[in-house]
Amino acid sequence: MRITSLARCFRIFDINRLSYCVRYPFSSRTKDMVKLLKFDLESPDPLVVERAKQRVIDGVERNLVEPETQSRNDKILIREMLAFPLAKILASLSGDSFVKRRYARAEANALRRFLEKEPQFASQLSADLGVPITEGFVPFVAYANAAPEQYKLVNAELDSGRVRLRRQETLVEFVAELFRQRIEEDIAKPMKVPKRYTSIAAEIKGEVNRDKAYSSVKEMNLGPVTTSEFPPCITALIELAQSGAPMAHQPRFTLSTFLINANMPIDPIIEIFRPTPNFNENKTRYYIEYSMGKKGSGTKYSAPSCEKMKFYGTCVNPDALCGRIKHPLSYYIVKMRSKKQAGDKSGA
């Protein structure tokens, strides 16, 4: 069934309700709508398939999915809503644990963003995920499985096998984690779907840019930032900044986005730029926070790939490892991981 005819029979619902279903694609309300639409996996709208595919790729590469929720066009909203169950199917069929894990996390990140603005929906959504919250309390087992690390049972208020979710942010984190776990469970199960989806899932596996996915190392638990493991291009840029020579916009952008994505805290980054001509601490801080997505549009910028670095002439002194990677952050990750492994072995 095409979206146009779906939309025609769907006008009984208003745009705000559809938008809710796009924001919360696992909710009971959304499931009812999808059932009503009789979404047919045998002959789906190609645009829904395309959105589903892109949703998985975005999730893996950017650690975030950004469904169109603001549209006033019911066709677009229906497409977004239907893309979610199909994206789960595609992630599952990829058979790639990295893709599955990243995709599930990205969906949870999107949910967290929406719920931070609309916490009033969190309890209902928790119930939709199978964990009812009664008077702020959740069952002990559910809490132990899904509560964010920092809110674990120390100081938790217990009552008859239940735990109180005291703070709003705890509740939001809890529901986001429940959602992530639910997606991981769903996409781990074998799925019987038309064969065409297997080839689309294979395309995703081939197309997804893993270097981009690694553009943030925050979640990789690599330990404190270690400048001695930086790639030669970044070492050269640090030397340039420290020398007090003028630094054009592109090298400045490259260095700051690399350091941010390598998880270096803001203050040491500022110190690196301090010797540059006309240094202004407030401006530099603003610029770094802007690149982190804490200011302005909220977009977090990734560091340029090796290809772009070559284009800008900032790829210098490449070594043997450079021949095996496509992104300066991949270089750093490989070095840090082998350092960690060497440390683990010598400690054994």
Residues that bind ligand SF4 (CB under 6 A): 231-233, 306, 309, 315, 318, 322, 328, 331
Other Cβ atoms closer than 10 A to 29: 15
Q: Which is nearer to ligand SF4, 128 or 211 (CB)?
A: 211
Residue 30 to residue 52: CA distance in whole angstroms: 16
Q: Which is nearer to ligand SF4, 125 or 262 (CB)?
A: 262
Q: Which is nearer to ligand SF4, 109 or 305 (CB)?
A: 305
Q: Which of 313, 341, 96 is nearest to 206 (CA)?
A: 96
Please report how close the Cβ of residue 229 comes to ligand SF4 at its closest, in angstroms.
12
Residues 6+ apart with CB under 8 A from 165: 133, 136, 137, 138, 143, 171, 174
Six-digit token string for 71: 């549209």
Tally of CA atoms within 13 A in the half-sphere of 307 that contains its CB: 3
Q: Which is nearer to ligand SF4, 126 or 257 (CB)?
A: 257
